[in-house]
Structure 1
Amino acid sequence: MTALLDTGLGLFGQAALVGFVTFLRIGAAMALLPGFGAAMVPMRVKLALALAFTAVVAPAVSAAVAPHTGTVEGLLTCLATETMIGLSLGLLLRLMVLALEIAGTIVAQSASLSQMFGSGGEPMPAISHLLVMAGLALAMMAGLHVRIAGVFILSYDALPPGAFPGAGIVRTWSIGHIAHAFAIAFGLAAPFVLASTIYNVALGSINRAMPQLMVSFVGAPALTLGALVLLAITVPPALTLWLGTLDTLLADPFGAPG
């Protein structure tokens, strides 16, 4: 009985160490994950979510993690490497939310809607809040939690535990995804930029033709109304396009962006 108990305690201790090393990566990523790492989510909820993801991921990656839990040096090394890898993964996925925030900022500046609808939470224009909340709700309904768990499991093949990723690989990977996020943001906001440019050019031409007309009193309400109509028309397909891009990223998070 004593030998059986010792064996059970040994297995439990090994499982606890594997869970701890896995938690290092997941806990660091949890601070930046879309939706789960938002500022409005309480810290206790984030901790519970990190433990839940750890319970799901740890059994699938125990073979890769276990060799690094046998020594104190291995655990200390994992304390640094896993935290860095987790932050890198969280930032990669967070870029998709930042793309919506940037798109909302461009829309707000182009359409004079910066102060409408109110705002709260993280500092950003109100249109950005609208796009981010709608995008995250759409992603959650599409099973974002399941896809993120899959990304964590795949990350142990692409970024093995106990080793820092190469600086050149991280630089190329991060710059590519950051540029891709800006491209997505401008693509989503392009209809508003184009419509605003055409409208202001037309308004300037009218002002030159009829200097006595108070174009600011006529143009500002029309610009706001047109922006609201364009927002209602373009946001649903834009969010669908964004969700497809997010699905592509989650399917191959370690490949070239595009």
Structure 2
Amino acid sequence: MTGILSELSRLLDLAEGLAWAATLVFVRVGAMVALMPGLGDPVVPQRVKLALVVAFAIVLSPMLAERLASDMPGPTFLALGSEAVSGLILGIGLRLFLVALTTAAAIIAQATTLSQLFAGAAPEPQPAIGNLLTMAGIALAMISGLHVRAAQLVMLSYDFLPAARLPLSSEAADWSVALIGRCFGLAFTLSAPFVIASVLYNLALGAINRAMPTLMVSMVGAPALTLGGMAMLAVAAPVILMVWLAALSDHMAAPFGAVP
């Protein structure tokens, strides 16, 4: 009888540890999913988001329970808050890459005079090129297994963001500044062909205007710029999306690595 009670007590302790580990994983994953591209968008219903977070927690908790048990403190509100902060850091890192794609689309729209096309049609004001690239980028990321990589990212994050411990503010600030700079550089890189083409177009337009002052070069050149920009977008969009997806994949493989 004593042996049965001891075994039951051991099972209860194991179940308690697993439940607490699942709670910590649930909080971290929930905060990350709230900001993830695609899964965290406002168009996704809250019940669907909750189901996704529960599914992530069910899958990851058994694999992380033994790892978390070694250095995991007892149940405290501070531990839950620390996990929420860690999850928000992961989610913000992923969301910045979507912001980079939107910024690149805004630069492209300004360079091709398409910035006001269908303005105000989306919940967030952005040009039609922004809607196109954002939707295509999210779809491409989901097809490429974003959910699987997100699960791997959560498992990897415990090497840099230990469970139930607040990250150092100095390290978080350095990482966020470096990542913001990288995302802005990525946005300019994606839009660079359109910026260069726009500069060449305006230089050519200025030369023509100097040679023929009476010609309405703006009226003649505006349709050519718009048509050329749309044709260039059709050719460059697949390359832009593949470069963006590769950058997102590199970040998810090494989220806290050296950022150039």
The aligned residue for residue 201 of structure 1 is: 203
Q: Which runs of 5+ in 1 are unaligned?
A: none
TM-score by length of 1: 0.91
1:33-77, Cα deviation, whole Å (9 max, x unpaired): 1111112111111111111111111112112433676634xx212
The aligned residue for residue 94 of structure 2 is: 93
Q: Cα gap change, 1:33/1:80 in structure 2, threshold over 3 Å: closer, same or farther?
A: same
Secondary structure of residue in 2 paired with 1:170: helix
State the identity as a percent. 48
Distance 1:102 1:11 in 2: 48
Give 1:243 shift.
1.3
Query: Contact 2:72–2:164 (CA<8 Å) still a contact in 1?
Result: no
1:10-29 equivalence runs, <5 A: 10-29=13-32
Amino acid at match of 2:161: L
1:1-258 equivalence runs, <5 A: 3=5, 10-66=13-69, 71-72=74-75, 75-116=76-117, 119-258=121-260
Give 1:122 shift.
3.0
Distance 1:235 1:70 in 2: 49
Instruction: Give me the CA root mean square deviation.
Output: 2.1
Amino acid at match of 1:33: M
Secondary structure of residue in 2 paired with 1:113: coil
Query: Contact 1:173–1:256 (CA<8 Å) still a contact in 2?
Result: no
Give 1:167 shift.
2.0
Greater shift in the superposed pair: 96-105 or 12-21: 12-21
Distance 2:73 2:220 in 1: 74
Distance 2:234 2:79 in 1: 48
Query: Contact 1:68–1:162 (CA<8 Å) still a contact in 2?
Result: no
Give 1:7 shift.
5.9
Q: Which runs of 5+ in 2 are unaligned?
A: none
Distance 1:197 1:69 in 2: 57
Distance 1:173 1:184 in 2: 16
Secondary structure of residue in 1 paired with 2:166: coil
Distance 1:142 1:251 in 2: 14
Aligned length, in residue pairs: 256
Distance 1:70 1:132 in 2: 41
Amino acid at match of 1:138: L
Greater shift in the superposed pair: 80-89 or 54-63: 54-63
Give 1:186 shift.
0.2
1:106-151, Cα deviation, whole Å (9 max, x unpaired): 0011111123367424332221111111111111111111111000
Give 1:27 shift.
0.8
Query: Contact 1:30–1:36 (CA<8 Å) still a contact in 2?
Result: yes
TM-score by length of 2: 0.91
Give 1:206 shift.
1.4
Distance 2:24 2:43 in 1: 27
